[in-house]
Amino acid sequence: MLRPRPAARILGSTDLLLRVHLLPGLRNGASGVISATANIAPGPMRKLFDSWQGADADAQQEKISALRNAVQAYPVIPLLKALVAHYREE
């Protein structure tokens, strides 16, 4: 007999008044987020995902948010492409 899977809740950029942050999403039952920030900071995003209930979760989110805010000060798509190319040494 097939058992139903629990529904996944994933937040994207249109959720939470365009201020998507991984930590509040996880705290509110999300399974994850779809985030451009993960393209340039996958390590910190994964670390927060894995330890979102830990004592330093808020500090981790603040660092990720600061990066996101810095990125948003520029045209996002060209900047993301340039950053990814730079770190991949393309």
Q: Kindly report, residue by residue over 38-60, the tens digit of the pLDDT.
A: 878 889 999 999 999 999 999 99
Give the model's pLDDT for residue 24: 86
Q: Residue 45: what are its φ and ψ, rounded to 5°?
A: -65, -45
Tokens 């509110």 correspond to what residue? 28
Element (DSSP H or E) covering residue 39: helix 37-40
pLDDT at residue 8 tops 70:
no
Residues in the chain: 90
